[in-house]
Amino acid sequence: MSGLTPFDVMMRKDIEKTFNELLVEARNIYEEAKKDGIKPLLYGSVAFYYKAKENKVAVELLKLYRKSEDIDINFLVKPEDRDKFKGLITNLEYTPYFHLEKVLGDVAGMFFKENVIVKVYYFNEMRFNHVIPVNWDSDFTLDDEDLILSKLQRHNPVNKDLADIASLLLVKDVKEDKILELTSADWGLWKDVTDNLMKLRQLLSNLVADEIKEREEVMPVISKVVKLHGKIMNHPKKESWKPLPLDAKYWSDF
């Protein structure tokens, strides 16, 4: 089932305050970076909150499987801007996680200031479980479709990842062209995306069954999930779309 009770939901009242505080901090980092010619794009839960914060039900979905201490600021930064970003974040009084800097500092960074954690990947595209091109013309956050893909591409999503997708689908009519294009060319991505859409549909049904959400609150999302799943299944596949054995490792670790 959903793994939640109405009491669990009541205990998450402070999370919205954390989201708002981190959103202000993320915006400040972004604006300071722009002054130096850097364009960090926000993704992760704070980006989803930014998109959904005016919708009560969407915010409730974001809060369901989170605790305040689990929320970080996540940025994607182009590799050519890596050194400038590190200088900027240090000037903003953040302290780097030195072990990560020593081992993986060319591709990732983690920075601390009081109770705020900023996590950064230095990629031109998303290189997580699958490679996803990024629209760098977006402002402040990854665009809506890239945000959805950042969660749908996960090989082993947890419930909070699925709830993030639901929150955005509730408030946005997300474009689907890129999702259809990428999944029609890459069987591994297709497999994880379609599996995750089915997991999301089941999660929403469980939230209704457990009386965490009313059916009419989540039906718009379920409808979009079913339609997107059908479009992906029916979209013509390219020559590069080649099924692998189910025991094959078709995803990357990150």
Q: What is the DSSP string of 219-247?
A: HHHHHHHHHHHHHHHHSPPPTT-----TT
The pLDDT score that the predictor gives to residue 8 is 56
Stretch 228-236: mean pLDDT: 98
Examine the pLDDT at 245 and tell me if it is beyond 70.
Answer: yes
Examine the pLDDT at 209 and tell me if it is beyond 90.
Answer: yes
Which three-class secondary structure state does DSSP give residue 58? helix
Give the rounded percent of residues in the chain with a pLDDT score beyond 70. 95
What confidence tier does 4 reach under pLDDT thresholds 50, 70, 90?
Answer: low
Which three-class secondary structure state does DSSP give residue 180? helix
Cα angle vertex 253, ends 130, 150, to 5°? 40
Q: Can you give the pTM of this predicted structure? A: 0.94
Which three-class secondary structure state does DSSP give residue 214? coil
Give the contacts of 122 (CB within 8 A, at least 6 positions apart): 77, 78, 79, 81, 82, 85, 106, 107, 108, 109
Domain boundaries, the chain: 6-234
The pLDDT score that the predictor gives to residue 2 is 62
The pLDDT score that the predictor gives to residue 68 is 78
The pLDDT score that the predictor gives to residue 254 is 81
